[in-house]
Amino acid sequence: MTNKRAFLAAATGALIASALPSMSSAGETIKIGEINSYSKLPAFTVPYRNGWQLALEEINNAGGIRGKQLEVISKDDAGKPGEAVTAANELVSKDKVTMLMGTFFSHIGLAVSDFAKQKKIVFVATEPLSDAVTWSQGHKYVFRVRPNVTVQAGILAEEAAKLPAKRWATIAPNYEYGKTAVAAFKRLLSEKRPDIEWVNEQWPPLFKLDAGSTVQAIAQSKPDAIFNVTFGSDLTKFVREGTTRGLFKNRKVVSMLTGEPEYLDALKGEAPVGWLVTGYPWYDIDTPEHNKFLKAYQDKFGTYPRLGSIVGYATMKASAAILANAKDLETDSLIEAGEGVSFDTPLGAATFRTVDHQSTMGAYVGLTALKDGKGVMVDWSYKDGSDYLPSVEETKKLRGN
């Protein structure tokens, strides 16, 4: 498991404003506004917050950025686009932040991105995976840290194409992320395997999965394999009901995000075995950068990191890299500084592409297994995101340029 990019130093981090009362005076800090769905999906967002807090502490202890400490003012969007935009407006108009970062759900990320475009402020999107964030609805004010659905679908499709399965069913939450993930996987797998037949699609409302009827509908179509995009409580219900009804017996399941500890941990000993997934095998990664991060994280929080922890840490590092590389703190200077800038992550260095502001951060792919009564990833490898992103010319077309 090797990275193709050399590590470049650049850091930033974040701590909730209430935890830093001594750093709130105007002009004494560089303020970053942070927004996420803490009360809606704590399994991911709490580790995410831990990640950016750790990075913030490291950066400020090392002297900050531009001779100033970084201050993060954090708000909860409750999983609602309207509340996210309201929070963003307060951060910009009242708190006078220099830039915005955060969001989890794709529709919320797109809403904040549109706000950033209107207000002409840089927004470093963390988790929203929809391709639209940096492609069809992309603009110069938005940068995205995590690999998008095309990258993750491409990584999975590369492995799925090796399977003998010809009849495929899909299940995904009926909102932006689910729709774009299914579309990307179907397109990429069909390009590699023209003999594929798509026999069933299930679109349950987010976090309102009727597992019994959904599993029955998939089973009736008699697929050879299933592409799953559910996560959180929907994933737990799907796995349990599918196992009870024998849906997964003699069928391959390819599943985006399921290898993340946030979701495997919730299943405990019920975690599926043999699924092809993207995720985060923190317990087996042995690289200097990850070992350093793992020790610091465990020392500070007394627990192991989740994928959210990686995303939060990387987002803070990315935001700091932009600030450190800029000639001043004006928006245009920050945009110029962010294009092509590299930043450290526990998975290796990543870079914001100039053409679309999409990070080259990659993902782990492997198989699920049970170990000591809980789900883990085995036979995994790390895939560099730059190997799965479209060319500059293709990207320009996706952005309508």
**Per-residue pLDDT of the chain in tens (401 residues, 90 and over written 9):** 333 333 333 333 333 333 333 333 346 999 999 999 999 999 999 999 999 999 999 999 999 999 999 999 999 999 999 999 999 999 999 999 999 999 999 999 999 999 999 999 999 999 999 999 999 999 999 999 999 999 999 999 999 999 999 999 999 999 999 999 999 999 999 999 999 999 999 999 999 999 999 999 999 999 999 999 999 999 999 999 999 999 999 999 999 999 999 999 999 999 999 999 999 999 999 999 999 999 999 999 999 999 999 999 999 999 999 999 999 999 999 999 999 999 999 999 999 999 999 999 999 999 999 999 999 999 999 999 999 999 999 999 999 98
* β partners of residue 36: 76
Antiparallel, parallel or unpaired: β 142-144 and 276-279: unpaired
Kindly report the length of the chain.
Answer: 401
**Cα pseudo-dihedral 156, 157, 159, 163, rounded to 10:** 130
User: What's the whole-model pTM score?
Assistant: 0.92
Is there a common fold for 17-148+285-362 and 150-281+364-392?
A: yes
Q: Which residues contact 31 (CB under 8 A, 6 or more apart)?
A: 71, 72, 73, 95, 96, 97, 98
**At a CB cut-off of 8 Å and minimum separation 6, what does 382 contact?**
1, 3, 347, 348, 362, 363, 364
C-alpha 245/C-alpha 43 separation (Å) is 27
Q: Domain ranges for the chain, please list them.
A: 17-148+285-362, 150-281+364-392
DSSP character string of 51-76: HHHHHHHHHHHTT-BTTBEEEEEEEE
17-148+285-362 placed in CATH 3.40.50.150: no
* Residue range 150-281+364-392 in CATH 3.40.50.10140: no
Nearest to 60 by CA among 94, 93, 13, 102: 13
Which 3 state secondary structure label does DSSP give 284? coil
Look up residue 127 and give its amino acid.
E
- Look-up: residue for tokens 């809403």? 111
